Amino acid sequence: MRALVFKTTFDIASSSLLSNVLQGGRVLILNRSYLPIHIATVKRAVSLLCLDIAIGVDRDYQTYTWSRLLTEGPSPEKDEDFHYLHTVNKLVPVPKVLLLQDFDKRPPQHIRFSRGQVFMRDQHTCQYCAKTLPKQKLNIDHVVPRTQGGKTTWENVVASCHYCNRKKGGRTPGQAGMKLLTIPHRPSVSPLLTTLKDLNPVWNNFILSPA
């Protein structure tokens, strides 16, 4: 089996294909079973396509090899499923979803716990007063405070604004007479994936929402 190397010596950045989309766009990578495993830049996606490590897929599960993309391209009504690279004399469509050809990697089962991931899971919204705030104005709140034995786990922390965090103090929501908007849970899909998919509607076809 061909080894999958996400780093490749093919360096499209040095070619005339370079355009803004290389910097900004994101591509969802699926394994052969159509399970999302990775988010890549457009630059990396082009490398995977060129090397026949991956093919593109659109919302109707139509697939596109690199040579098909260069010759036929997608039909105009599927424009939204593609990024477009501006070359000297044409537009090259790069699918927003790629399917790896011989790589059976499973999706990550374990979502890394971090402050940033908790904020993303909670959509940067204080779980007590429902205010949406930038991360600088949010705290990690332990639902059961550490002083009462609460652990730092997905199930015991939420995003909260500074005001609610102070108001709650070293108490549980019940003791403080405050109510949580949601029950904190371990996400089954990376919060980043969930956030980015809103920007790429075609990804919705391939990402299952957390139960």
What is the distance between the alpha carbons of residues 187 and 117, in angstroms, rounded to a whole number?
Answer: 9
Of 3 and 183, the one with the shorter C-beta distance to Zn ion is 183
Closest distance to Zn ion from the beta carbon of 180 (Å): 11
What is the distance between the alpha carbons of residues 13 and 8, in angstroms, rounded to a whole number?
Answer: 12
For residue 132, the 8-state DSSP code is: B
Cβ 210 vs Cβ 64: under 8 Å: no
Structural element, H or E, at residue 174: helix 173-176
Closest distance to Zn ion from the beta carbon of 76 (Å): 46
Q: Which residue has the tokens 């599960």?
A: 61
Closest distance to Zn ion from the beta carbon of 210 (Å): 23
Residues of this chain that interact with Zn ion (CB under 5 A) are 126, 128-129, 161, 164
What is the distance between the alpha carbons of residues 186 and 115, in angstroms, rounded to a whole number?
Answer: 13
Closest distance to Zn ion from the beta carbon of 188 (Å): 26
For the chain, the distance separating the N- and C-terminal CA atoms, rounded to the nearest angstrom, is 35
Of 100 and 161, the one with the shorter C-beta distance to Zn ion is 161
Of 66 and 128, the one with the shorter C-beta distance to Zn ion is 128
Of 2 and 166, the one with the shorter C-beta distance to Zn ion is 166
Of 69 and 161, the one with the shorter C-beta distance to Zn ion is 161
Closest distance to Zn ion from the beta carbon of 155 (Å): 20
The two structure tokens encoding residue 62: 């139509």
